[in-house]
Amino acid sequence: ILLKTPSSRNLFCRDAKVKSIEQTMEHAERYLGQICSLLASYTRKTARLRDKADLLVAQIHDFSDTEDPEFQTGLKNLAEDLALVQDHRQAQVARLETRVVAPLKAYGDIIKNKRADLKNFHSNLKRELKELQKLEKIQLRNPADRQSIAGDNAQKVSTDAQRSVQQLEETITDFQRQKLEDIKVSLIHFITVEMLFHAKALEVYTHTCHSLERMSIHRDLEVASANDTVHNTYCLALQQVRSRQYTADTLISHNIKTCSGTSQRTLQKQRGVEEEEEEGEEEEEEEVTSESETEERRHSSRRTYAAKHADMHRRHK
């Protein structure tokens, strides 16, 4: 007889519903958590791809500076288009973070709140079940008062049970609706962001492809050939200039050596003449010196004779 009343059967039905919604939330928490984690990883790897593409753009731009004009223009256009695609990829990363990952991440808190609500419902269910068990025991101990006891407590238990069932159904409905709406909106945003990025990238890459197709390799080959011709002409002219310079330097060196020899001979002759002149001057000086000595002797002899004549004249007086 125990727990065979309609109220007890309703409690068991509600208990089954609570277990069903708990299982639904467990599945949502598990799979939505994994999807959110994978989408976050997808966003991070997209950001890394953007960074690697930026490095590729810089490398292509540096490489273009070493090439001929036609190929240089094509490479620079390619680098600019790749940089533009990375700008769109940056927008893609930002949209994925704000429109897809963040709502799914916040959905974890929603599941926790719903779990708390279910826990309260489950507590109320246990409490009502205990009250029904007490009622059944009282009815078994007092069969004479069974109708009065049932009449007093049945209304209260039925009212509480009805309110709990209504709250549980509303909770289940709200949870399911919010879960479906959140998943739907997040997936639509994910697909929209991907479509927008790929549409922009396709437009840019189409322009890049046409630009590369228009690039003429033959022009660069002609320029390279012309540069080689100019380089060879320059080298030949430089070689001729160096040859002329070498010849001029050789002539100058020979003239310098010839002039040096002539100068040395001239200097030697001048030195010989100067030495002869110096010897002649020395001889003349010697002659002048001897003549002056002779004159001095004569003068001294005349002075001596005059002195003697003066002495003799004084003596006769």
Predicted pLDDT of residue 123: 75
The DSSP string of 70-109 is HHHHHHHHHHHHHHHHHHHHHHHHHHIIIIIIHHHHHHHH
pTM, 2 dp? 0.60
**Tokens 């309703």 sit on residue:** 10
Predicted pLDDT of residue 4: 47
CA atoms within 13 A on the CB side of 1: 10
H helix or E strand, kind and range, residue 298:
helix 217-316
CB atoms within 10 A of CB 8: 19
Name the stretches of the chain with pLDDT < 50.
Answer: 1-4, 302, 305-306
Which one, of 220, 182, 294, 191, lies nearest residue 72 by Cα?
Answer: 220
Predicted pLDDT of residue 147: 52
